[in-house]
């Protein structure tokens, strides 16, 4: 890719960051830390600006604050999806990633505080905190959310799918809203938010490498088995009634994973539906109809 780009756009600056083949172990952390160090040196040579320690600390603090607030919102929505709509959550996450500044982080923090106050008034804040800790650790052994409502509760999983686009498909249903989406395992959603915080202590490149490699696993990084086991935990412990598997067109890792996701849901007795999606959502009417039919099936099954 770098060679092709260099040939096509010779005036561009080409920077390469190589990830380790495996995600686990100190060898992987050391390898990625050195790659990040090389990248930093390349940026300094090209643009004449070395890594600023003060700037690094400020950026890490900002991102950590954003992630903590967004994790709280995710966890609040599992307990009660109506405290903040899925599309609003997705919008705020995207807004921060597009413009990562203190004002954007503050808005997310205010929304998280408002949702927390609502659930605290119902005596449910303890469950939210336990869930947040469990999701960040990648285990739900001590967490179980019981919901009495018969409304459909679904998880959306898949690869490089934009969460706001998915929310718009659910909003196209005349009967249901995007509040039925309790949780997502999308690369741009859950994986971004629940990446572990970067430590402010020690070597910054090692800290960044450890955080990056600690992100929720993807099948392209030897993470399929762990991802499937985590999915089954989420489905069985969070009162999830259905799984929507998004398949991004022309994305091989995404396509290869879909059957495994469906099989994992079947093992714990959760129905699923597969949505082949292209980036332009060119088949929107069919997708909205497929989603509505699936949600109606789930609703009928709870009566």
Rounded to whole angstroms, how far apart are CA atoms 264 and 271? 10
Q: How far apart are CA 84 and CA 107, in angstroms?
A: 13
Nearest by Cα to 57 from 207, 166, 279: 207
The CA radius of gyration of the chain, in Å to the nearest whole number, is 20
Tokens for 91?
């919008």
How far CA 26 is from CA of 29, 206, 215, in Å, comes to: 5, 10, 15
Q: Quick one: average pLDDT of 49-58?
A: 90
Mean pLDDT for 226-246 is 91
Residues 6+ apart with CB under 8 A from 66: 96, 100, 104, 105, 108
Question: pTM for this structure?
Answer: 0.88
The least confident of 164-173, 193-202, 228-237, 265-274 is 164-173
- Residues 98-122 have pLDDT tens digits of 999 999 999 999 999 999 999 999 9
Q: Specify the pLDDT at position 177.
A: 82
User: Domains (ranges, CATH) in the chain?
Assistant: 1-47 (no CATH), 54-301 (3.40.50.11900)
Q: Which residue has the tokens 């950590």?
A: 64
């Amino acid at each position: 890719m770098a060679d092709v780009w260099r040939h096509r756009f010779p005036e561009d600056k080409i920077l390469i960051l190589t990830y380790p083949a495996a995600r686990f172990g100190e060898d992987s952390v050391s390898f990625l830390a050195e790659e990040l160090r090389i990248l930093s040196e390349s940026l300094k040579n090209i643009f004449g600006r070395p890594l600023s320690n003060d700037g690094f600390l400020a950026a890490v603090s900002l991102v950590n604050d954003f992630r903590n607030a967004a994790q709280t919102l995710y966890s609040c929505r599992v307990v009660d999806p109506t405290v903040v709509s899925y599309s609003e959550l997705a919008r705020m996450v995207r807004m921060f990633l597009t413009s990562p500044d203190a004002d954007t982080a503050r808005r997310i923090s205010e929304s998280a505080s408002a949702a927390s106050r609502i659930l605290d008034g119902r005596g449910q804040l303890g469950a939210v905190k336990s869930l947040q800790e469990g999701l960040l650790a990648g285990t739900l052994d001590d967490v179980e959310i019981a919901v009495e409502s018969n409304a459909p509760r679904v998880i959306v999983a898949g690869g490089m799918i934009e969460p706001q686009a998915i929310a718009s498909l659910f909003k196209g249903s005349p009967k249901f809203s995007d509040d039925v989406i309790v949780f997502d395992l999308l690369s741009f959603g859950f994986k971004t938010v629940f990446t572990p915080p970067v430590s402010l202590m020690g070597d910054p490149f090692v800290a960044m490498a450890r955080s990056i490699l600690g992100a929720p696993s993807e099948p392209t990084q030897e993470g399929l088995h762990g991802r499937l086991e985590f999915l089954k935990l989420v489905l069985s412990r969070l009162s999830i009634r259905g799984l929507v598997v998004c398949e991004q067109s022309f994305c091989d890792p995404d396509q290869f994973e879909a059957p495994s996701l469906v099989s994992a849901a079947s093992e714990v007795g959760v129905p699923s539906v597969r949505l082949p999606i292209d980036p332009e959502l060119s088949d929107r009417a069919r997708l909205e109809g497929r989603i509505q039919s699936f949600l109606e099936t789930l609703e009928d099954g709870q009566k």
